[in-house]
A and B are shown apart, each in its own frame.
Chain A
Amino acid sequence: MVDESTKKTLSNIPLLQTKAGPRDKELWVQRLKEEYQALIKYVKNNKESDNDWFRLESNKEGTKWFGKCWYIHNFLKYEFDIEFDIPVTYPITAPEIALPELDGKTAKMYRGGKICLTDHFKPLWARNVPKFGIAHAMALGLGPWLAVEIPDLIEKGAVFHKDKIDEYKS
């Protein structure tokens, strides 16, 4: 199940056309271009709606992605690192987004900090191959996961705010 706001954000992200993975050379470039265009649009959209919540960048080939994401809870900003690789079978297989900091802190996570996506994500993705790209994975996968898991983690005390951590340390 995807909530309304998510649906809206999804509809604002341009769909991709090229079905190509990193091994397809020429076509992958095409695909990567589309990925970037979609991401730019998504980020722009987010900024416009005052909902900027991540930074991403990739390696030269665009097979490895890393960056940061944050979540605001109780007027406090919690920041986490993101990293994921484009699988070889991409775009048939969705990329596995990982938050290494939170590895072992929540049950909804695989080894290595890979987030455990909802049951709906995979069929949705499968249905939309090759139209969905990285931007969609972020909006559909990581966004909702953060909204659900982070407040819970903060409640449990598994995650501390940076300032508090600083205070704690000092």
Chain B
Amino acid sequence: MSTVDWDEVKRLAADFQKAQLSSTLQKLSERNCVEIVTKLIESKLLDVIFTNDGKEYITPQHLGKEIKDELYIHGGRINMVDLSQILNVNLSQVSKIASDLEKHNKGLKIILGQLIDKTYTNKIAEEINDKLMQHGFINVSELTIHYDLPADFLQSTIERELGKSICGKQDPQDSRVFYTESFIARNKAKIRGALSAITKPTPLLAILGQCSVSERIFFCDLQEMKQIPGVVAGKQGTNSLYIPSIYSKSQNEWVDNFYKQNGYLANVKYVLCKCNFSEYDALTRLGISDPANFIRRHFPNENIAFLHSVAVGTSIRDQIDSNIEEAIITGSFIDISPLLPSVFSDKDMEMLLKIAEKKINNNTHVFAKTIVISDAFLQSLNKSFEAIAEAKAKEAVASGQWFQTIAENRIKSKSADLIFENKANKKEDRRKKAITSKIGGGTQGRETKTKSTKKKYLQGKNRDGESDDENTKVLSTKIELKLISLEDIKTEIAKDDNLSVIDDLVDELALYLEQKINNYAISIAKQLAQNNKTTNLSEVEERLNVLVTNIKIFDKGIKHIDKTDQPALTKYLLKSLVTDFVNELFKLAAQQNMLQFPENITTETRQKMLLDLPEDVKEPLTNIHKSIAGNSIDDFLNFVDAAMASCCLVLKKYDKKKERPFILGHKEALLEELNTTQDPALALHLITSILFTAATQNVIHMSGRHVSTVLSFLQTQLQLSTMEILSKYHDMVLKSLTSSDEETKLDIQKELQTGLEEIKNIANNYKQHLKSDKAQENKYT
């Protein structure tokens, strides 16, 4: 056992020795290795490249080989960044090696950080060729996007391969585009077809859109193709127009024909509406932007006038000229619009007329743009209005409106004129109505009217001499009274059928005439007014003086009568003559102070007028107004002077010398009236008056009611027989008036008729019937 053990120990010892003697494994630690390699690299004994993680070394030769392998695996194209990641080598090392490789290997290229070899370019060329065949054309810029390669590279590649692996043609204008021959041929055919088919000017853009041919090819082909039937007008580009020669030919023909036929050329869109074919449009389509120039060129020998929208030849102008001349000669007017084709716009006609006016001397007027009116016609028209103007002017003056408006004008500002005019017109109308309705009316109205007509007549005569100078503008512009309204003129003009047919002419003419006629009317009115004022005043003064004298004389007559009867007579006198006088005076005052007054003046109206009168006039007039209501003529006479003075009138002194002739005249008048009358009552009245005058050498103003009073007064003066006859007759008259029985009335009437001659004789021989003239005379004078 132990020997075995010892053997075993010996064996182990031997093993131990063996183990100790066996060669030691020569192992370098990593640390050492790194150090050694660094040392080697430093000493340039070793040329290796570290991997990215620094754990491996690689020789440049091997890297080159690996790069090539990778390139092959990736189909001939690989990104350097990818390469560096795949090989786990720094990018800079990879690119360095790659550039080395590029230098030594002609098939290799570095493009945009990508390694590309020959096989890849060949592949691309084939692909491009396929694509070209498929689409007919190819654009380098599209390819750059597709392959993500620079255009220059692709360009050069394609150019190199053109004719080899790429069957196509390079666009001569844009080297970046390539076509196949068939594609070009196809497009050419398309374009030729489109261009031949077009018959009217078409924008190239539209053609391109229709054919779906690219712009570039189109223009390229357009230059090559000589046989296209037309021209391209305008700037090069899609905006230009293609004008087929067939179209321009027909255009020219149309222009020629149209001009020959019509003598004018409408060169504006106007025609487009009318003829569905616009000259202007056509010209622009032909590439001539200036139609006027085109026409000039087209008709170099014609004398063409260019208007706003049309060009006109001589024939039409001659026609117009001759028409105008005719109108001038005949003194009428002419509307040229129906003479011209409908395409002529108003503006054209206006221009045409201007041209015509230059030729024909300036004695025409153009209205409503197209109507030529000769001076002569205007004159005649003017004349026809003069009469109306005169009438209106007279009316205005007579109605007092004239004064009123003048006065108001002074007060009112200019701005209010318009309103004023309207008002004035209205008033005028009203007044006109009033006057016409009153013709032959009440005594007072008639009196004033006859007077005014008389005056107008006189003034009308005056005016005849002045009527020639129409143009004298007498009025200042400030006064804008329109005596004749525009409407009046219009209606008057419209009466002429020839004029009223044409639109606007009436209005324009009316406007044109309005000012003239109004000026004329106003000047007349002014003259009238001036004449009126002076004559008026003196006449009124005269009349009033006569009235006052009459009143005085009549008053005297009243005083002969018994005291008891006097008041009644006085009252009558006051009511009749004195009231007349006062009314007259008030009218005058109203006129002078520019007041309105009604035709019939009553006590109430007088009172109203008094309120409106100025203070200085008001007082004396108030006094005189009150005196009418009183009982005494003397009171009235006291106030007359002041009242008249307030109206700028002078009361003439009472002239006794005039008294006698007046009384005689009055008596004569009474006798005359008596002889003509057949009315018993009136006859009795007159006889009574005559007898009173004869008895007292005074006149009496009385009404029929006072006859009996006066007769009883005359009783003492007359012979008994006469008195009896008269009183009997008086009773009969009373009976005839009061009796209700028709029969007795007729009887009495008969008796009165028979007695009429008798009492008339009494009046005619009044002296015989007086008791003792002298005694009476002495007594009463």
Contact = CB atoms under 8 A, between A and B. Distances in A.
B9 A36 contact: yes
B8 interface: yes
B147 interface: no
B25 A33 contact: no
A39 interface: yes
B30 to A, nearest CB: 12
A76 interface: no
Contacts of A55: 20-21
Nearest to B22: A47
B664 to A, nearest CB: 185
Contact of B25 (A36, A48, A62): A48
Interface string A44-60: 10011110100111100
Contacts of A37: 12
Interface in A48-85: 48-50, 52, 55-58, 62
Interface string B484-520: 0000000000000000000000000000000000000
Contact of A29 (B2, B15, B22, B26): B2
Given A32-B9, A33-B12, A43-B19, A52 B2 contact: no
A53 to B, nearest CB: 10
Contact of B5 (A33, A39, A47, A49): A33
Contact of B17 (A48, A49, A50, A57): A57
Contacts of B778: none
Contacts of A58: 13
A29 B9 contact: yes
Interface in B8-38: 8-9, 12-13, 15-17, 19-22, 24-27, 29
B27 A50 contact: yes
Given A50-B26, A50-B27, A40 B12 contact: yes
B32 to A, nearest CB: 10
Contact of A52 (B1, B13, B15, B24): B24
Given A47-B25, A50-B24, A57-B17, A29 B12 contact: no
A50 B2 CA distance: 37
B16 A40 contact: yes
B19 A40 contact: yes
A105 interface: no
A51 to B, nearest CB: 9
Interface in A95-126: none
A93 interface: no
B9 to A, nearest CB: 5
Interface in A17-51: 25-26, 29-30, 32-33, 36-37, 39-40, 43-44, 47-50
A26 B5 CA distance: 8
A25 B5 CA distance: 11
Contacts of B12: 32-33, 36-37, 40
A26 B12 CA distance: 16
A37 to B, nearest CB: 7
B13 A57 contact: yes
A55 B17 CA distance: 8
B2 A33 contact: no
A49 B19 CA distance: 14
Contacts of B17: 57
Contacts of A44: 19
A33 B24 contact: no
Main secondary structure of the interface of B (DSSP, over half): helix
Given A36-B15, A56-B16, A57-B13, 14 more contacts: A26-B2, A29-B5, A33-B5, A33-B8, A36-B12, A36-B16, A40-B12, A40-B15, A43-B16, A43-B19, A50-B24, A50-B25, A57-B17, A62-B9
Contacts, number: 54
A54 to B, nearest CB: 8
Contacts of B13: 36, 57-58, 62
B16 A29 contact: no
Nearest to B4: A29
Given A29-B2, A48-B25, A50-B26, A56 B9 contact: no
B746 to A, nearest CB: 185
**Chain A, interface residues (CB within 8 Å), range:** 20 to 34
A33 B25 CA distance: 26
Contacts of B26: 50
Nearest to A44: B19
Interface in B433-464: none
A3 B25 CA distance: 24
28 contacts: A26-B2, A26-B5, A29-B5, A29-B6, A29-B8, A30-B5, A32-B9, A33-B8, A36-B9, A36-B12, A36-B13, A36-B15, A36-B16, A37-B12, A43-B16, A43-B20, A47-B19, A47-B22, A47-B25, A48-B25, A49-B27, A50-B27, A50-B29, A52-B20, A55-B21, A56-B20, A62-B9, A62-B13
A163 to B, nearest CB: 21
A156 B17 CA distance: 35
A104 to B, nearest CB: 29
B21 to A, nearest CB: 8
A36 B6 CA distance: 12
A37 B24 CA distance: 19
Contacts of B8: 29, 33
Interface in A129-170: none
Contacts of B25: 47-48, 50
Contacts of A36: 9, 12-13, 15-16
Interface string B583-621: 000000000000000000000000000000000000000
The residue among B8, B21, B24, B25 with the most chain A CB atoms within 10 A of its own CB is B24
B776 to A, nearest CB: 194
A56 B13 CA distance: 10
A55 B1 CA distance: 30
Contacts of A50: 24-27, 29
The 5 A-B residue pairs with the shortest CB-CB distance, nearest first, are A36-B12, A29-B5, A50-B27, A52-B24, A43-B19
Contacts of A57: 13, 16-17
A44 B25 CA distance: 10
Nearest to A46: B24
Interface string B230-260: 0000000000000000000000000000000
A25 B2 contact: yes
Contacts of A25: 2
A47 B6 contact: no
A154 B26 CA distance: 26
A116 to B, nearest CB: 26
The residue among A25, A30, A36, A56 with the most chain B CB atoms within 10 A of its own CB is A36
B247 to A, nearest CB: 105
B2 to A, nearest CB: 6
A38 to B, nearest CB: 10
B679 to A, nearest CB: 180
Contacts of B19: 40, 43-44, 47
Contacts of A29: 2, 5-6, 8-9
A58 B25 CA distance: 25
Contacts of A48: 25
A68 to B, nearest CB: 10
A37 B20 CA distance: 13
A48 to B, nearest CB: 6
Nearest to B3: A29
Contacts of A52: 20, 24
A36 B17 CA distance: 10
Nearest to A51: B24
A39 B24 contact: no
Interface in B467-495: none
Nearest to A42: B19
Nearest to A37: B12
The residue among B8, B13, B15 with the most chain A CB atoms within 10 A of its own CB is B13
B601 to A, nearest CB: 154
A112 B20 CA distance: 26
A40 B5 CA distance: 17
A62 B22 CA distance: 22
Contacts of B6: 29
